[in-house]
Amino acid sequence: METNQSIIIYRPLPKAGRIKVYIPFQLKNEREKFKKLNTSFYHPTQKLWSIVHTEENWNLLQEIYQGKVNIQESAKRTVIPSKKLNKTSEAILLALRQKLILKAFSPSTVNGYCSALKPFLSFFESRELKDLSKEEIESFVYHQISKYKISESAQNTLINAIKAYYEHVLGRERTVYEIQRPKKSVTLPNILSQEEIKSILQSVENLKHRTVLMLIYSAGLRISEAIKLRVRDIHSDEGYIFIKGAKGKKDRKSVLSPVLLTLLRQYYLAYKPSYWLFEGQEGGQYSATSIQAVFRRAVEKSNSNPWATVHTLRHSFATHLLQKGTNLRYVQALLGHESSKTTEVYTHVLSISNKNIQSPLDGIDEILNLVSKTPNTPVDNANIYAIDK
């Protein structure tokens, strides 16, 4: 077999979640086999297929495509070298940290900005930062993208860190360093169906684990909001959950499901939390990583969408409310979105079918007459699928 006709399986890195596979366009039968595999997915930008990374799936792929496989090593991401900063750069980093803390930025933002700024300080350690031009800064950002392939998210964090230094520490005008940012991607949130939600929750046997996942879904919470809930934030008489100091340091209320309230009462009697609603084994707040691990196990056990994360429960909450006809403004308030445009993204993932939307074609009588004159021919699923392709 020619090299360009072989199927390439990329050996996954130790912590990779999926196995990437390249299937040449000409190999239609082999591609159809892959489509039928559980957890199969196509990545259009990479022109690669993938499947969940397990030893069983690795062996299965080699068995299915025996004699047609070319195994290649996955390319490792180039790591940005870490270099010890000089005293001047350390002082700059400390000044930025102090200023961000004084402005009450969240700990994660402070750490993220300081970490992102280190390569910038290292790169320009022999220069006076106040004398750098906008073009020199953009050249550095371009260098990080082209050499180290940093993601759009990392690029934005780097730019934010640089701007934070110039604006908050040096007191420059915001307009002075309007650094070029990546074009914002328009992506649709990942959504779970209500059947998948049901399967995930049913697969969790531990009462505490099931309660925290059900609470996140039923109230549309972020994981950070769930672990910061206090016992007193559950207002059973008024029927709401109080979320204090959410994103943007804004308080809000969300709906308290009667079904969730019943489960919360069972949970309270079993665990008797004293201050935080969900406490760790040694007291204090329950960790986000523990919830993420619980959710991953539940997804695998229930055979649900492998791309789902804990945050997918929040996306699903919003979408399912809109599917039930809830006013967009109410959903916006429940999610704590400042702008309705943020909430409107969920309208793009609503189920579209002839059951809930009527095509304008259906209202043209003349077209109906044309259809009635079309000879009746048997139509099976194979023909319908052929039309889709």
Cβ atoms 247, 184 nearer than 8 A: no
Cβ atoms 7, 31 nearer than 8 A: no
Active site residues per annotation: 222, 247, 311, 314, 337, 346
Residue with tokens 């949970």: 267
Q: Give the contacts of 38 (CB within 8 A, at least 6 positions apart).
A: 51, 52, 303
DSSP alpha helices (H): ranges in 65-193?
Answer: 87-102, 107-123, 134-148, 152-164
CA distances in angstroms from 254 to 4, 219, 239, listed in the order given:
55, 6, 9
Among residues 224, 259, 264, which one has the least CA distance to residue 243?
224
Cβ atoms 278, 226 nearer than 8 A: yes
Q: Give the contacts of 360 (CB within 8 A, at least 6 positions apart).
A: none
Cα torsion 224, 288, 209, 302 to 10°: value is 100
Sheet containing 234-235: give its strands across. 234-235, 240-243, 252-255
